[in-house]
Amino acid sequence: MFKITSDVITGEEVREAVEAPDAGAVVLFFGTVRNNTDGRAVSFLEYEAYPPMAEKKMAEISEEIAKKWGIDRVAMIHRVGKLEIGEVSVAVAVASPHRKDGFEACQYAMNRLKQIVPIWKREVWADGETEWVKPDAVFFEELPEKK
């Protein structure tokens, strides 16, 4: 399951999607809306996505994980629209025979998601100002190659 949604994310959707009888571990990650950025109070967040491309890129990340760890049970869902403090913006589930690979693959999925999946976050500050968030430095090191 690779999905962009405007609905509340419970985590059950990704957990169920990776269920497998040979799994000894399911690693579940939630990204949640924090009430501040570097100490500045955030009122709420708005996420925007390019859904068909985002879902395609999520599927590609899953293929990368299959190659690196041999894990083929990965699910990702990201919410768009207005999100309040504490709400879940993204959930990733990875099922694997053993936990070590599952934790690594889940971490990898999130890192890649922030690099190649077209989703944008806008912070609306408590004072009413808004700002599109700039990416981490890692983004610029991992840009798809330009010719």
Partner 1 sequence: MKVTVKYFAVCHEMLNRSEEEMELPEDATVRTILKRLEEEWPEIAEFYEVMQMSVNWEYATEDTELSEGDEVALIPPVTGGTDV
Binding site for partner 1 (CB under 8 A): 31-34, 37, 47-50, 52-54, 56, 78, 89-90, 110, 113-122, 132-136, 139-140, 143-147
Q: How far is the CB of 6 from partner 1 (least distance, A)?
A: 15
Q: Smaller CB distance to partner 1: residue 48 or 66?
A: 48
CB-based contact 83:33 (threshold 8 Å): yes
Q: Smaller CB distance to partner 1: residue 12 or 136?
A: 136
Note the residue count of the chain. 147
Q: Smaller CB distance to partner 1: residue 65 or 116?
A: 116
Q: How far is the CB of 88 from partner 1 (least distance, A)?
A: 10
Q: How far is the CB of 70 from partner 1 (least distance, A)?
A: 24
Residues 6+ apart with CB under 8 A from 26: 15, 18, 19, 93, 94, 95, 102
Q: How far is the CB of 87 from partner 1 (least distance, A)?
A: 11
Q: Smaller CB distance to partner 1: residue 19 or 139?
A: 139
Q: How far is the CB of 128 from partner 1 (least distance, A)?
A: 16
Q: Smaller CB distance to partner 1: residue 94 or 119?
A: 119
